Structure 1
Amino acid sequence: MTQSPALPLPPPKERRRLREAASLTRAQLASRVGVTSETVRGWETGRATPRGRKGEKYARLLNSLGPEREVTEPHTSVATSDRGRASAPGRSARSRPPARDRDRPRLAERGRAPAPDRGRTTARVTLADRNRAPDRTKPHRPDDATSALDPEQAFDALYAFCAPALVRQTYLLTGRRELARESVERAFQTAWQRWPEVARDRDPAGWVRAVSYECALSPWHRLRPRYRHPEPPPPDAFDRALMDTLLRLPPSYRRTLLLYDGVGLGLPETAAETEASTRGAVNRLAHAREAVAERLPELADPEVLHWRLVELASTERLRAAKPLVVRQAGERRARLWTRAAIAFTALLIGTTVLTVRTAPTRYEPPVPPGATVQGVPPPVAPGPLSESERDLRSKLRKEQQKGPDRLMPQPR
């Protein structure tokens, strides 16, 4: 009979935060406790409860990490916490044995930052730690850190934290490099215009990611001349086959596969971001994996598929613009649309005033249609001229040119 651990366990989100604050991966923590990384994932998401000796060991380990880390080394920077993570393996998927650790580096962890969707509290703390050194005299508080940033600094920190990974993810979603950069920049411009709402959101990185995905998958891009022709495919043959397989999937299936197997979200988070039920997200994921495995049998293992997605996104040199450039472009776009709205409103007001001034002020009955009048004799046509009338006409014609100005009648 299993029993709950004697030591009190923190909430699931706090367990995850303590592990990430200690720069430990799920695999490292699982090896210390003696369980699998999937078990640790269930403990951190709240789907399972630690019990028995393993639960007691897990509780003692968290208890040893919590106070010591928070007092002496509170939430190190993102770059420092990322150094202890496992690096991606080589290019060959056939020569690499599939790892059984689900806590591998995701697409969002490539480069220098952990995944922005690792935890909502962790994401907000990380944004503050990237711009300010933590206070080592007292435990770190996320509210104190985020309140010390002005809007520009907070936006720049969020952009530097998420933009490089989002460009790579959007490239896998669309297969177009320029569209990926444009979608991410448009999403951050929208975030800057609605910054009070984004800053108060529990997951600002997820907010921006959802907007960038929606912009990238918009069907209106088909009408743009620059996106009517496909871009050059990746140079590697296997990468070309994988990209072609991804683009053949329906957009909803492709997005679900990227979020779960690429970014590393859980099924509830993936279903919420794709606006589907958990059962629907499971079906989409299963069908997407079947389609990929049918064309590329080497990627039947989800672990190998994840690494191939990471490598495919890393082969392209996708660079995001500077945060200052994105903010200024967003402000210019907002000013342009504001001026256009003001001009349209002024034109509408002027047209209304002109219509009011020129419109009739009284009722004017319409002209009735014509009707036949009876009893009116028809007009008589003139008959032929007599001999005297013709002489008179010829005389008038001659006298009109050479005769006097006034003709006097002569008696006969």
Structure 2
Amino acid sequence: MGSDMTRTPETPLPSPKERRRLREAQSLSQADVAAAVGVTRATVRSWENGRTTPRGTKRDAYARLLTGAKEVTPHQENPAPALVGAATGSVQASPDRAEPTPEPPSETPPAAELAPKPDPESDPELGPAPALDPEPELGPRPEPGPRPEAELEPLSTSLTPDQAFDALYAFCAPALVRQTYLLTGRRELARESVERAFQLAWHRWPEVAMDRDPAGWVRATAHEFALSPWHRLRPRHRNPEPPPTAPADRALLDVLLQLPPVYRRTLLLYDGVGLDLPETAAETEASTPAAANRLLHAREAVARRLPELAEPKELHRRLAEVASAERLRAAKPTTVRWGGEQRARHWTRAAIAFTVVLIGATTLTLRTAPDHYEPPLAPGATVHGVPPRVAPGPLSAEELALRAKLKGETVSGPERLVPKAG
């Protein structure tokens, strides 16, 4: 998958990190950029995450909007990484698991980005956000784990979709299950979240395969599913799972689970996975200053309960140990693909059945419903005060004689009466 699939030679673009920095330097929101370029806000966020790249006239307009009066520097867009890039996060420190090679540390964010700003999603239980220095020290980056003996090579175009998906799953799933366990504290939910994320990736495989960071796409999907509040309505979610056996691991997991979900996810991505601050902010859909405040809040909450973990390196090591202590094994990729296909068939059949029932109900309604208005008949009522109708009484003798005479005449009737002269 070459870089020609994600950029065009006509208009160069800055890297995804630089795009976000240039936008924030001009005090523009993602909604402002979307309105100016003529796209949705989700599209702009995808451009800044590096998952997609604009093309054609939108690319030109986006480049002009980012640069403004400043010309595009030679720091251009990075070429698209391999199908499984080095940005795959991992908190597993075991040497028997292949870990991705971490990227070089990015430059320190400018002081203006990390200036103290109010975080609208601050948790009132944690108190007000700490004041950030002009250049806050977020601690050193976590030390990279041991280099795997055989890293995953870029997938060639000769691989079938099944083979490419299996390679991505084998590379990401083991570490991703452990990460999700630190987010939720539930083993079954961690496995289910990772399987659902990969099933969705298989369902959208052409889109995921062409993504700049397929591992990041799956990681974000798994984390969002694991932190969904709808799990509280599930019956099995009401029963807590057994905590870790080691007291130190149990104490750290308790502290993590007491943090708000977005703070917990920010701490895991930055101090556990090893993403830099802009990448952490982009994955949690927050601004860089907000992500910095959440990280400082989370670190302070952990250090308040566990003072020995105030050092970021020690916190990173302990996160890796807690994740490694649990024997969490992901399912086989063939099982995940088969489960995703079965789920898709199930929902397709359910949608077809619902459509058929809806059509049948509509047809029955059209056949039985009246086609014109019929006013209802008012019930009868007795009317008082009206005189009764007078019927004819018995005939007199003269009337009876006249009626007999008329009946006795011929059919043509009585003879013509001629008046006499007077």
TM-score, normalised relative to structure 1: 0.60
Contact 2:303-2:310 at 8 Å conserved across structures: yes
Residue number in structure 2 paired with 1:327: 337
Residue number in structure 2 paired with 1:158: 168
Match of 2:105 among 41, 46, 49: 41
- The one-character-per-residue Cα deviations of 1:2-32 (angstroms, maximum 9, x if unpaired) are xxxxxxx997968x99xx99xxxxxxxxxxx
Q: Does 1:104 align with 2:104?
A: no
1:367 positional shift? 2.1
Match of 2:364 among 334, 346, 354: 354
Alignment of 1:213-224 (within 5 A): 213-224=223-234
Q: Does 1:317 align with 2:327?
A: yes
1:364 positional shift? 1.1
Alignment of 1:106-145 (within 5 A): 126=152, 129=153, 145=155
Per the alignment, do residues 113 and 215 of structure 1 end up closer, same or farther by CA in structure 2, a change over 3 Å counting?
farther
Match of 1:277 among 287, 309, 313: 287
Amino acid at match of 2:143: R
Q: How far apart, CA to CA, are the structure 1 residues paired with 2:226 and 2:150?
A: 23
Contact 2:141-2:271 at 8 Å conserved across structures: no
Give unmatched runs, 5+ long, in structure 1.
1-8, 22-38, 48-99, 115-125, 130-141, 379-412
Match of 1:148 among 158, 182, 194: 158
Residue number in structure 1 paired with 2:262: 252
- The one-character-per-residue Cα deviations of 1:126-183 (angstroms, maximum 9, x if unpaired) are 4xx2xxxxxxxxxxxx5xx431211111110110010000000000000001110000
Q: How far apart, CA to CA, are the structure 1 residues paired with 2:378 and 2:148?
A: 83
Contact 1:12-1:46 at 8 Å conserved across structures: no
Amino acid at match of 2:188: E
Residue number in structure 1 paired with 2:297: 287
1:373 positional shift? 1.5
What secondary structure does 1:162 align onto? helix
Q: How far apart, CA to CA, are the structure 2 residues paired with 1:255 and 1:113?
A: 29
Q: How far apart, CA to CA, are the structure 1 residues paired with 2:150 and 2:195?
A: 19
Per the alignment, do residues 186 and 279 of structure 1 end up closer, same or farther by CA in structure 2, a change over 3 Å counting?
same
Q: How far apart, CA to CA, are the structure 2 residues paired with 1:40 and 1:157?
A: 24
1:222 positional shift? 1.0
Per the alignment, do residues 101 and 360 of structure 1 end up closer, same or farther by CA in structure 2, a change over 3 Å counting?
closer
Q: How far apart, CA to CA, are the structure 1 residues paired with 2:171 and 2:149?
A: 8
Computed over aligned residues only, the root mean square deviation of the Cα atoms, in angstroms, reads 3.1
Q: How far apart, CA to CA, are the structure 2 residues paired with 1:170 and 1:370?
A: 75
Structure 1 runs (4+) deviating above 6 angstroms are 9-12, 109-114
Q: Does 1:167 align with 2:167?
A: no
Contact 2:106-2:276 at 8 Å conserved across structures: no
- The one-character-per-residue Cα deviations of 1:12-71 (angstroms, maximum 9, x if unpaired) are 968x99xx99xxxxxxxxxxxxxxxxx96246x998xxxxxxxxxxxxxxxxxxxxxxxx
What secondary structure does 1:329 align onto? helix
Q: How far apart, CA to CA, are the structure 2 residues paired with 1:341 and 1:282?
A: 44
Contact 1:110-1:165 at 8 Å conserved across structures: no
Residue number in structure 1 paired with 2:391: none
Match of 2:206 among 175, 196, 199: 196
Q: How far apart, CA to CA, are the structure 1 residues paired with 2:211 and 2:289?
A: 26
Q: How far apart, CA to CA, are the structure 1 residues paired with 2:321 and 2:77?
A: 31
- The one-character-per-residue Cα deviations of 1:181-227 (angstroms, maximum 9, x if unpaired) are 00000000011111111111111101100110011001111111111
Q: Report the number of matched residues.
A: 269
- The one-character-per-residue Cα deviations of 1:98-126 (angstroms, maximum 9, x if unpaired) are xx9735236xx798787xxxxxxxxxxx4
Q: Which has the larger share of helix? A: 1
Residue number in structure 1 paired with 2:17: none
What secondary structure does 2:266 align onto? helix
Give unmatched runs, 5+ long, in structure 2.
1-73, 87-102, 111-138, 389-422
Q: How far apart, CA to CA, are the structure 1 residues paired with 2:147 and 2:307?
A: 26
Percent identity at matched positions? 71
Q: How far apart, CA to CA, are the structure 2 residues paired with 1:321 and 1:112?
A: 23
Residue number in structure 1 paired with 2:384: 374
Amino acid at match of 1:102: R
Q: Does 1:243 align with 2:243?
A: no
What secondary structure does 1:147 align onto? coil
Q: How far apart, CA to CA, are the structure 2 residues paired with 1:353 and 1:150?
A: 46
Residue number in structure 2 paired with 1:76: none
Residue number in structure 1 paired with 2:239: 229
Q: How far apart, CA to CA, are the structure 2 residues paired with 1:156 and 1:312?
A: 27
Q: How far apart, CA to CA, are the structure 2 residues paired with 1:204 and 1:113?
A: 20
Greater RCO, 1 or 2 (C-alpha within 8 Å, sep 6+): 2
TM-score, normalised relative to structure 2: 0.59
- The one-character-per-residue Cα deviations of 1:354-392 (angstroms, maximum 9, x if unpaired) are 1111112332111235555133689xxxxxxxxxxxxxx
Residue number in structure 2 paired with 1:363: 373
What secondary structure does 1:231 align onto? coil
Residue number in structure 1 paired with 2:217: 207
Contact 1:256-1:274 at 8 Å conserved across structures: yes
Per the alignment, do residues 357 and 363 of structure 1 end up closer, same or farther by CA in structure 2, a change over 3 Å counting?
same
Contact 2:256-2:302 at 8 Å conserved across structures: yes
Contact 2:181-2:323 at 8 Å conserved across structures: yes
Alignment of 1:26-37 (within 5 A): none
What secondary structure does 1:146 align onto? coil
Q: Does 1:303 align with 2:313?
A: yes
Q: How far apart, CA to CA, are the structure 2 residues paired with 1:211 and 1:342?
A: 27
